[in-house]
Amino acid sequence: MQGPVSRSLRTSRQLSLRGAAAMEQGRADEARTLLAKAVKACPDDPEARHHYAEALWLCGEKDQATVELATAAEALDEDPSLKIRLAEMYLETGKTDLALNRAEAAIDMNPKMPGGWAVRGEVMHSAGRFEEALADYHRALGYAPGDRKLMMQVAAIYNRTNRPAQELATLQSLADSYSPGEEPQNVLRRMGTAMVALGRYDDGIESLSTALTRGSPTPDIFYHLSQAELSAGNPDRAAMAAREALALQPNHAPSQRMLEHLEATARADGRIRR
């Protein structure tokens, strides 16, 4: 049987519960204050340090957050989830070697946890080691089929390595995980650019046009639509899309160059006067 809980640990747990509740309700500063008190009441309580680390992270104190979480992870050495979270924090703060170390420690402890493979994939991705990242992401997906963030990461690598067919197949699987009409704008945009890369110009135009209706239109989507229209042999529509991009952002350099190219081509062809 466990002995009675000490007064300091009881106080720490009460403050931790209040702090965690404040975090869930978006009151990060209040959570940080409560959880700092929890850690002070019982410095040996790793759960309090874990919650305190998350509150510090939310408040932008990321270096101190990693220190607190590292202390908690050391105390709870048999918990791979803390190692995974610590790896994520290290990666976001640029400490890639530490991130890789913690990710691999989590994988060694429990190779069936997708988070370990996922964060190691992110480390490899950030280092430009795309094939290793791809292998890690696929291992993670094997334990978390249909994970949308992982599928997006896989698609991004296929894009970076110029494999539009694999990119499109991944994005279509991702789109299929949403109800019809609920596919996110970014997924539709990337599907459209992959279709254009494969020479499926009309399909790309349709996907990019649909993306414009999901959320606020962006200069980037209009620019890609302009490229698709030009590839499909519709220079007037390409110019129209480029102008729409510039109406949203007058200094959007890719659209400026596109419109200049289209106008120069039109002048050369005699379709517009100087």
- pLDDT digit string, tens, across residues 146-167: 999 999 999 999 999 999 999 9
Query: Tokens for 214?
Result: 């999901």
| pTM across the whole model | 0.85
- Percent of the chain with pLDDT strictly greater than 90: 78
More confident residue, 212 or 274: 212
DSSP tally for the chain: helices H, then strands E: 15, 0
Q: Does the structure show a pLDDT above 70 at 87?
A: yes
Residues 6+ apart with CB under 8 A from 56: 32, 62, 64, 65, 68
- Determine whether 7 is exposed, middle or buried from the number of CB atoms within 10 Å of its CB (0-12, 13-18, 19+): exposed
What pLDDT sits at residue 196?
Answer: 98
- pLDDT digit string, tens, across residues 176-203: 999 999 999 999 999 999 999 999 999 9
Q: Does the structure show a pLDDT above 80 at 271?
A: no
More confident residue, 42 or 126: 126
- Position 57, amino acid: W
CA angle 74, 9, 38 (to 5 degrees): 75
List % helix, strand, coil for the chain (3-state, nearest 5). Answer: 75, 0, 25
Q: Does the structure show a pLDDT above 70 at 61?
A: yes
**Cα distance between residue 236 and residue 230, in whole Å:** 8
Please state whether 139 falls in left (phi above 0), alpha (psi between -120 and 50) or beta: alpha
What pLDDT sits at residue 89?
Answer: 96
- End-to-end distance of the chain based on CA atoms, in angstroms? 91
What pLDDT sits at residue 267?
Answer: 84
Q: Does the structure show a pLDDT above 90 at 274?
A: no
What pLDDT sits at residue 235?
Answer: 95
Q: Does the structure show a pLDDT above 80 at 272?
A: no
- pLDDT digit string, tens, across residues 28-43: 899 899 998 988 888 8
Cα torsion 261, 265, 271, 272: sign = positive
Q: Does the structure show a pLDDT above 80 at 104?
A: yes
